[in-house]
Amino acid sequence: MIKAGIIGSTGYAGAYLASILLNHPQAEVVWYGSRSYAGQEYAGIYKNFFRMVDETCMSEDLETLAEEADVIFTATPQGYCAGRMNEDLLKKAKIIDLSADFRLKDRAVYEKWYGIEHKAPGFLERAVYGLCEINREQIRSARLLANPGCYTTCSILTLYPLVKEGLIDPATIIIDAKSGTSGAGRSAKVPNLFCEVNESIKAYGVTTHRHTPEIEEQLSYASGDLSGKAVKLSFTPHLVPMNRGLLATCYASLKDGATAEQIREAYENCYGEERFIRLRGEGDLPETRWVQGSNFVDIGWRIDERTGRIIAIGAIDNLVKGAAGQAVQNMNLMFGLEEQTGLMMPPAFL
């Protein structure tokens, strides 16, 4: 059995990670770490775990945890994992970080967009970006894994085949993405209160959202530019009054001569064998309700002949494929398991 520890187990992503691992046939949680709830019963915080989890929340002592666990998940705010990273930890346990601390390769870009100093820049090159469908082979041998977030996962996977095959002009990419409020985390913030969110939809981080450079970097790699700086795009996220789910609507101008058949082949070549990507095809557009509670990504598209653009749409559950499910998918690869182990939950419609 893989012994797993979760730091940040009482946040939304951490709690869903605990839920998935509870039913994983080859893993067990040995440490429910929480700064805010240390010493309290885990099932008293999340009562869905009543009579299923008997453990109390532990501290955020990574050094002690590394002695007990094979893998440590850090579902923590930006800066936590980088601030505690050292060689000794990585010798003892594999680390899967759900924050953005190791997603960007350029320290200066991280510090500009996140507004904090990066405390472990020496580990940036060693960290593997954990988008399983694209970096599978590198993930298998990783000890430090940067788990992508929800907006980046959905946006990158939706556009990746089009950029990789040169079917769109990357300078024309616009991403309009909408997420449920769980994507903003569990901590109390006035903008996320029920009365602030209900019966409304709002854009935020307009022109400044910190996931922008991450999407640009990964799509630049897809285009063949190893500097990670070739693609510049517009990304605007929105908060919608639902608990979970994410829909990314991506617009781009088609290159001259690009055909519907080439687009279909590009998606099939990239994702035709992927277990967790479901290609809806042209005209069959995804909805968040059809992926809720699952690790699936649904992708569909439509060509606008009048404007010469493609509209590609992706849908995920922001807590699963956008966070906890992807983290477990990465763990499976890192420990030589079948990728889908513990993750074949059907979407929970209704």
195 or 129: which leads in pLDDT:
129
Q: Which of 53, 5, 68, 13 is nearest to 31 (CA)?
A: 5
Cα angle, residue 204 at apex, residues 327 and 195 outer, rounded to 5°: 95
Tell me the H-state helices in the chain.
12-22, 42-45, 62-68, 80-84, 87-92, 107-114, 132-140, 150-164, 194-197, 212-222, 260-271, 325-334
SS3 percent helix, strand, coil of the chain, rounded to 5, is 35, 20, 45
Chain mean pLDDT for the chain: 95
How does 128-159 read in b/e, with b if 16+ C-beta sit within 10 Å?
Answer: bbbbbbbbeeebeebbbbbbbbbbbbbbbbbb
Q: Are 279 and 259 in contact (CB under 8 A)?
A: no
Q: Are 98 and 74 in contact (CB under 8 A)?
A: yes
Q: Which CATH superfamily includes the segment(s) 151-318? A: Dihydrodipicolinate Reductase; domain 2 (3.30.360.10)
Residue whose tokens read 């590198």:
138
Class of domain 2-126: alpha beta
Grade residue 349 by pLDDT with cuts at 50, 70 and 90: confident
Residue type at position 166: G
What percent of the chain shows pLDDT beyond 90?
89
Distance CA(225)–CA(218), nearest Å, equals 10
Q: How confident is the model over 264-316, as pLDDT tens digits? A: 999 999 999 999 999 998 889 999 999 999 999 999 999 999 999 999 999 99
How does 324-339 read in b/e, with b if 16+ C-beta sit within 10 Å?
Answer: bbbbbbbbbbbeebeb
Q: Are 283 and 302 in contact (CB under 8 A)?
A: yes
Q: Are 173 and 235 in contact (CB under 8 A)?
A: no
Q: What's residue 334's pLDDT?
A: 98
Token pair listed for 347: 């979407």
Residue 146: strand pairing partners:
97, 129
Q: Mean pLDDT over residues 196-213, rounded?
A: 92
Positions annotated as catalytic residues are 150
Distance CA(31)–CA(4), nearest Å, equals 7
Q: How confident is the model over 59-106, as pLDDT tens digits? A: 988 999 999 999 999 999 999 999 999 999 999 999 999 999 999 999
Q: Are 29 and 54 in contact (CB under 8 A)?
A: no
Cα angle, residue 127 at apex, residues 124 and 129 outer, rounded to 5°: 115
Residue 263 has pLDDT above 80, yes or no: yes
Q: Which of 342, 339, 335, 328 is nearest to 17 (CA)?
A: 328
Domain boundaries, the chain: 2-126, 151-318
